[in-house]
Structure 1
Amino acid sequence: MIRLTILTMGVLLMGTAAFAQIIAAQATAQEMTMDNKVFVGYQGWAMPLRQEDGAKWVHYGWRGQFKPGFSTVEMWPDTTDLNADEKVPTDFRHKDGSVAYVPDAQNPKTVNRHFSWMKQYGIDGAFLQRFVNPASNPRERPSIDRVLQNVRAASKANGVAWGMMYDLSGVKAEDIFPKVSTDWKYLVGELKIRDDAHYIHHRNKPVVVLWGVGFNDNRPAPSAYLSLIQFLKNDPVYGGNTVILGVPFYWRTQTRDTTTDPSLFEVLKAADVIAPWPVGRYGTPEDALRIGQTERAPDVAWTTANHLDYLPGAFPGFSWSNLMKTRDKTSPFNQIPRLGGRFLWSQAVSAKRAGAKMLYIAMFDEIDEGTAIFKVSNDPPEGETPFVTYDGLPADHYMWLAGQIGKMMRGEIPATDEMPKR
């Protein structure tokens, strides 16, 4: 007796064309939500030579130099897969005396390679970090826009979603609305980023993230962001967006890293999604599982009760000793160890068990603070400057793990304490 699957029966009953339309509609609906997905932050800011003004070793070196003792990065990118025209020589040398090379974020081929990795390993999308003050600076803006256009092209070529995340660090209260609204009008009106086929959507609307609301490090009061949120949601031309707020980790209790300003909750309720910042807030797998119960589960309950969604974050590890040295400060090398991925996996498990439906990993390419998950070299240069490695694990280990986390968020594999084996 022949048994027909539901899929086969559907094709027979409706015809191939009609059934294909249904499948396409389902795919489109899936693209309209961030649920059941894993996202990464994408900096795209490491430039050996900024083309417009000749600035050298941007987000690589210090005082225009990048050599042993003059480094702001904590990890060395793996350049094995890169073509010759993607590799820039440095004054660093490997153990065998060979020249150490780095990539250039301005190179479209390299950005496309990054997005092809995301596609390969099952990372659903990337939020491009756009720092408001530099983006408003005529000297820096062209290079920032070049990276943006590279990201758009890479997203299209690889079918990987991308979205805009504004970093409001250092923006004065009186500049928040004019700077961001002007830039958003440019991005939407002139560049038409929301027309991109793979622009990130949630709640059936294009997404825009405002990162840096509610911290207690001398930032503007939360109320200073309210008019911008309302503009992004309600403006007849440039509104209609789902607004995500990047907030402190302890936002709900207004403790530790969070302002005590009572206007915070009015501002949070004006948005659509709350995204707490986790980097440096805990440091072990045990802590990660614990905060799932003490912080994340109550966060989910609060956001649900207030008709908001919840985007928890996770990070693979942390180290910024080289960066701090350039600021005449000290910080422990490999301050928060990765433990082969157990630390990252435990955070994702805690988020899933708390009821989260999506996850944001910080970051894809952040080598300044040692939080990158892209390919990092296990054979970094030798000398005065130390570099964190993946401890002999494959260079793609953390991208693979991010893909496993995506499967776990979708319920395809269980949220177990033990990390999946490759």
Structure 2
Amino acid sequence: MKQISLSLLLSFFFISVCCSSKKTGTDAPPPGPPVAVKDTVYDETGCQYTSYNKLVMAGYQGWFAADGDDSQRGWYHYRNGRCGGFFPGCAAVDFWPDMTEYTKQYKSPFKFADGSDAFLYSPYDEETVDLHFKWMKDYGIDGVFMQRFVGEIKNTNPSGKRHFNKVLENALKAAKKYNRAICIMYDLSGCSSDDVAYLEQDWNELQSLFSLFDNKQHPTYVRHNGKPLLSIWGVGFNDNRKYTIADVDKLVGKLKGANNRVSVMLGVPYYWRTLNNDTENSTLLHTLVKKSDIIMPWAVGRYNMDSYNNVAIGLAADIQWCKSNKVDYVPLVFPGFSWGNLQDGKADYNAIPRLKGDFLWKQVAGAKQAGAQTLYVAMFDEIDEGTAIYKCAKEANLPVNGDHKFVGIENELDSDYYLWLTGQAAKWFHGESNLNATKPVR
């Protein structure tokens, strides 16, 4: 496999009333097409998702914008700064969304081979995010972590904060409508020490702005260990970040406070336990992990189909370390990886092939067999780096991209295949016994 630069990869990847800690993990889900909702028993305070345990949730970037939407950010995250815009031969995305079901669409600078216009969406539009959450319900995916990029929301970037606040507003409304779990995840990529400290201010603002933990308004906001869950991604990586483990340790202490106000999930490097490879060699990381409630190691780019068994051999040991230290462990799975357009490196198209779902299911099975109870899926809508599981255009139905190209869902599959397969993983983690290491047949 081509070695993917960690620093480049990480630079682009880039949540009051508390519920009871009572869990509903073995309760039978209610009937309802097409896939039953998990954990629909509410606790006495009205909170639906009282634990991350047995849930399969994905990351939701929500960072795209379209020229003509109300965000006024142009083709944000579709455009590529390396080549100066968004036009044939210059794009930041490898995959193209399947636009069939979107009610609000924006004509892009791209066309299909027959000369017809290619359209895109904006998550700034409420109806677009509503559609995404409807898909989560339709395919049985429990919900998402709403990514919040600290470098884009700090006070020096008001358009960024406005954008992510609006996308979050859309998502909170849709999560309630479709009974999907939702949680805030802050991404520290590109941050300084001051930026890390700013996270606390933004977190407090969100609670006030959205009445975030009002159980009537937001009954599906995830709790864990009896407290609202907040995720912080990007601590302990050895890629010369401008903030430290100590900065994040201080932040976690403030967020939890004397009364342990929140549960915290940390996004850590893949080799967090052994403190090598992608991880800073500092035991301070282990000290911080022990203060958290959940950890989620970052697996994207760490293996492919051929190397998975050798790299993921430490999964069971990671889980056992966490059990011994009373920290919950959430493994990450991803369908594949591609960033040929983002990096302007044509060899990077399908850098980690999807293999018609075989690669994703191999990871799902590996996590399950290692004893994992929960999954994080990277990502719901990440078409920049080709990890998206939502509906994308197939290989035979892609716009023309000058001397470059776009990457599509395999022609033998439907555009919704990876949503469906992720829903099958959710069934397995919910306790259905007819699933195993053999990839299910649709």
TM-score, length of structure 1 as denominator length: 0.88
By how many angstroms is 1:411 displaced?
2.5
* Aligned partner letter, 1:270: K
Shift in alpha-carbon separation, 1:186–1:223, aligned structure 2, 3 A: same
Task: Encode CA deviations 1:158-182: one digit per residue, 9 max, x unaligned.
Answer: 11111000001111124312x0110
Shift in alpha-carbon separation, 1:414–1:299, aligned structure 2, 3 A: farther
Contact 1:221 1:261 in 2 (8 A): no
Other-structure match for 1:162: 182
Distance 1:415 1:256 in 2: 34
Shift in alpha-carbon separation, 1:49–1:93, aligned structure 2, 3 A: closer
Distance 1:318 1:24 in 2: 37
Q: How does 1:209-248 map to 2 (within 5 A)?
A: 209-219=231-241, 220-234=243-257, 240-248=261-269
Other-structure match for 2:21: none
Other-structure match for 2:300: 279
More helix by share: 1
Task: Encode CA deviations 1:326-377: one digit per residue, 9 max, x unaligned.
Answer: xxx5642111110111101111111111111000000000000000000000
Contact 2:46 2:219 in 1 (8 A): no
Other-structure match for 1:262: 283
* Aligned partner letter, 2:287: E
* Aligned partner letter, 2:328: D
Match of 1:131 among 149, 163, 184: 149
* Aligned partner letter, 1:139: S
Other-structure match for 2:55: 37
> Any gaps of 5 or more consecutive residues in structure 2?
1-26, 28-39
* Aligned partner letter, 2:436: T
Segment drifting more, 240-249 vs 376-385: 376-385
Match of 2:343 among 306, 309, 324: 324
* Aligned partner letter, 1:359: L
Other-structure match for 1:307: 326
Task: Encode CA deviations 1:205-246: one digit per residue, 9 max, x unaligned.
Answer: 21100000000011222122111111222256xx61110000
Other-structure match for 1:93: 111
* Aligned partner letter, 1:267: L
* Aligned partner letter, 1:411: G
Tell me the number of residue pairs that the alignment of Structure 1 and Structure 2 aligns: 392
Distance 2:390 2:171 in 1: 16
Aligned residues with identical type, % of pairs? 40
Other-structure match for 2:95: 75
Structure possessing the higher radius of gyration over alpha carbons: 1
By how many angstroms is 1:322 displaced?
0.3
**Structure 2 SS opposite 1:322:** coil
Other-structure match for 1:339: 355
Other-structure match for 1:16: none
Distance 1:197 1:310 in 2: 24
Shift in alpha-carbon separation, 1:45–1:29, aligned structure 2, 3 A: closer
> In the alignment, is residue 249 of structure 1 matched against residue 270 of structure 2?
yes
Q: CA RMSD in A?
A: 2.1
Distance 1:172 1:402 in 2: 35
Task: Encode CA deviations 1:305-344: one digit per residue, 9 max, x unaligned.
Answer: 000000110100000010001xxx5642111110111101
Contact 1:207 1:241 in 2 (8 A): yes
Shift in alpha-carbon separation, 1:28–1:247, aligned structure 2, 3 A: same
Contact 1:288 1:350 in 2 (8 A): no
